[in-house]
Amino acid sequence: TDCIRAFCAAEGAVHCDLGRVRILRLSESDSYGPFFTRFAGAHLWQGENYFVQIDAHTDFREGWDTHLIHQLKLTPTYPLSVLSNYPPHGTPHDTRPWPRANFSGMEVPGHGGTESTPLALCGCSFETIPGGTRRTLRVGSTARSLAPPGRGGLLEPRRTAFVAAGFFAAHASLLLAVPFDPYLPFLFMGEEIALSLRFWTSGYDIYAPSVDVVRHWYVRKESMKYWETVSMVLDDHRMNNEMQNLTIQRIMFLVGYPEAQQEGFVQPRSVLSRAGAYAQGGVRSRESFLGHVGLDVANKIFTQPEWCTTGTHPPASVAG
């Protein structure tokens, strides 16, 4: 079933007729991986106030848009705020009702149980891409021991270290300030560290939502996985790892790996085409970001920031 066509043929007809539903359909072989597809999808924007990015296989809480807008406006840096985390697991066949949550973001009992505290993106690890020596960064989620509620007793969104590519929400001005980089074909692992660095150095603070509004179907054992798709599209089972080792050099250069700054390391140099147009922002430095999130890219060491796991404000020395 094509859910978009079904929506436009029923209760969504008025929205589709007014051009509020805009679709770009790409075949597997034309998508070139998540980076290019995000870039192309962002060009459907026509001045709406807010932007939400999700992965496929996502289930929404009723009132999700109201919740997200309310949470964004609770952040002290709005509109320079990004809400993001790894959503809880859920499938289209999931019969569990969403827990109730009021618009203050407070945890309240509901017909589906008690709202649990959303996970935050405080973890990160250095990982070598198979088939080569290039090292990428994998973001990870962390349970939090939250500090007491803030203004007026409201449990507002708390700052977090990283952005999840599979779910984030922001004021749509983000699309102009930090445009998606289309020059990373077929790259998967590396998207989140690139977005995190570019958002933060462009002046945006990253927050974990105080209420989860989407659930994601993570496993899907019967479905092809991304690395299988790349090999199928390019008709060579080795191509996924080879493409990853090629394009990750652009991320290593962006993040500031010392070796990637050396002459001759990035090969071919065309990997860095228009890198300056999709580089770090001009509000905060790359070095400040690395200190903020606990990354030592020279020695490949990550130290999880305590401010993130406790949901407190980062120290002034790393807050930018």
**pLDDT tens digits along 69-116:** 999 999 999 999 999 999 888 776 766 777 665 544 444 333 344 456
pTM of the model as a whole: 0.89
Average pLDDT, the chain: 85
pLDDT of amino acid 225: 57
| Residue 200 backbone dihedrals phi, psi, to 5 degrees | -65, -40
pLDDT winner (highest mean) among 17-21, 25-29, 212-216: 17-21
Give the pLDDT of residue 109: 34
Q: How many residues in the chain?
A: 320
What is the chain's percent helix, strand, coil content, to nearest 5? Answer: 30, 15, 50
pLDDT band at 258 (very low <50, low <70, confident <90, very high): very high
Calculate mean pLDDT across residues 114-143.
85
Nearest to 242 by CA among 233, 250, 253, 231: 231
Token pair listed for 159: 């700052």
Domains of the chain: 1-30 (no CATH), 32-310 (3.90.550)
State how far the Cα of 87 lies from the Cα of 276, in Å rounded to an integer.
32
List Cβ neighbours of 272 (8 Å cut-off, separation of 6 or more): 249, 250, 253, 266
Query: Can you tell me the distance from the alpha carbon of 311 to that of 75, in angstroms, rounded to the nearest whole number?
Result: 13
